[in-house]
Structure 1
Amino acid sequence: MQVSFDISLYPLAEAQYKDEIWAFIERLNQIDGLKVITNGMSSQVFGEYEHTSKHVMAEIQRVHEQLGSAVFILKIIASDRSHIINHQGN
């Protein structure tokens, strides 16, 4: 089964929050089997359900361990919705 995640990260640390966001996105981009599309509001991650969930949650845990305080907003859809994003030109 395929899955789509829509993820927004809000670091609560005062220092270099943009760097933390981009580091999180870059780590997701390095994982084989994930398709990552980023825009100004969030990142969308697509892939096989178990594989994608495992890696996204591991990266979320890593951010929490490193920063101590960060808020994640997640939307999860049990299908690959990347074709809709690409079709709309986003």
Structure 2
Amino acid sequence: MNLSVEISMYPLADNYIPPIQGFIDELNRHPELQVITNTMSTQVFGPYDTVLMVVGEAMKAYHQTAKASFVCKFLGGDLRP
């Protein structure tokens, strides 16, 4: 089963672009996922368990060093454009 996730990250910092880019770069390190980024959000598509694991680990890693709010939508299936 596949999963589609739409993520918006809001770092609680004045210099917010580098943390967002770092989060996106971490997601892109996983070739089994397709990551699409636009001006409003990042979309992640791939195998259900893999998507949950990679997104969860990336969020946890960020939260261990700084604060951010993540707004996510999880949709069962492959809904990539």
- TM-score, length basis structure 2: 0.96
The structure number with the bigger radius of gyration is: 1
Match of residue 80, structure 1, among 71, 74, 78? 78
Structure 1 residues 35-60: Cα deviation after superposition (integer angstroms, max 9, x where no partner): 00000000000000001100100000
Aligned length: 81
Distance in 1, Cα, partners of 2:48 & 2:19: 25
- Displacement over 6 Å in runs of 4+: none
- Considering only aligned residues, what root-mean-square deviation do their CA atoms show, in Å? 0.7
Distance in 2, Cα, partners of 1:66 & 1:81: 32
User: Equivalent pairs: percent with the same residue?
Assistant: 40
- How far 1:32 sits from its partner (Å)? 2.3
Task: Note the residue ranges of structure 1 that are not aligned, 5 or more in a row.
Answer: 86-90
Which protein is richer in helix relative to its size?
A: 1
- How far 1:13 sits from its partner (Å)? 2.0
